[in-house]
C-alpha cells in the first residue's frame, strides 16, 4: 500500500480510493493489462467503479508519468506500472506483451538531445512470436 501511495504522491496525483486500487492493480500485475481487464478484476470489490473511471484514472496516471500507456497492440491500449524505459514485445500468436530487458541502446528521455525538442516518451515495440509459442509449435 505504501509504495502505491508514494507513487501517486510523487506524481502529484490525489490518492482517491479508486486511484489507489487501480495503481495497485497495475503495480501488482506486470502483464500490461487493458482497461477491460482492470475493470473486470476490480469491479467485484469496488461496485461503484465504472469503466469510464478506470479509463480516466489510467489517463491521469499516464499523463502524470505514474504509468505508461502502450499502443503496441492496435486493438487494445495497455498500461504498465513500470515507468523505466524498456522495450516491449508483442506476440502475434498469443497476444501477450512481454518486457524485454533493456540494453544500452535504450536511453532515458533526458539523455536524448533533440535540438530543443523535449522528449517525454520513448517507445520501443517489437512484434513476433514469443518463446512459449515457438516451443508449442515445435512439439
Contact set with Zn ion (CB under 5 A): 80, 82, 91, 93-94, 99, 130, 133
> Cα separation of 13 and 127, whole Å?
33
- In the bound complex, what is the minimum distance in angstroms from residue 69's beta carbon to Zn ion? 11
Q: Which CB sits closer to Zn ion, 4 or 130?
A: 130
Taking the complex as a whole, how short is the minimal distance between the CB of residue 19 and Zn ion, in angstroms? 20
Which sign, positive or negative, has the C-alpha torsion 12, 69, 98, 111?
negative
Q: Which of 6, 80, 68, 93 lies closest to 37 in space, CA to CA?
A: 80
Least Å from the CB of residue 58 to Zn ion: 14
When the beta carbons of 11 and 86 are compared against Zn ion, the nearer one is 86
Beta strands in the chain (DSSP E): 68-70, 78-80, 87-91, 97-100, 125-128
Residue 49 or 91: the one with the smaller Cβ distance to Zn ion is: 91
Amino acid at each position: 500500500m505504501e509504495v502505491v501511495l508514494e507513487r501517486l504522491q510523487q506524481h502529484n496525483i490525489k490518492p482517491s480510493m479508486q486511484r489507489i486500487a487501480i495503481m495497485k492493480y497495475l503495480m501488482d500485475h506486470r502483464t500490461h493489462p487493458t482497461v477491460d481487464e482492470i475493470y473486470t478484476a476490480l469491479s467485484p470489490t469496488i461496485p461503484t467503479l465504472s469503466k469510464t473511471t478506470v479509463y480516466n484514472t489510467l489517463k491521469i496516471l499516464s499523463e502524470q508519468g505514474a504509468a505508461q500507456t502502450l499502443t503496441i497492440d492496435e486493438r487494445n491500449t495497455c498500461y504498465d506500472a513500470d515507468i523505466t524505459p524498456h522495450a516491449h514485445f508483442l506476440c502475434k500468436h498469443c497476444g501477450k506483451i512481454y518486457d524485454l530487458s533493456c540494453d544500452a541502446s535504450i536511453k532515458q528521455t533526458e539523455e536524448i538531445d533533440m535540438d530543443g525538442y523535449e522528449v517525454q516518451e520513448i517507445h520501443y515495440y517489437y512484434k513476433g512470436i514469443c518463446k512459449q509459442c515457438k516451443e508449442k509449435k515445435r512439439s
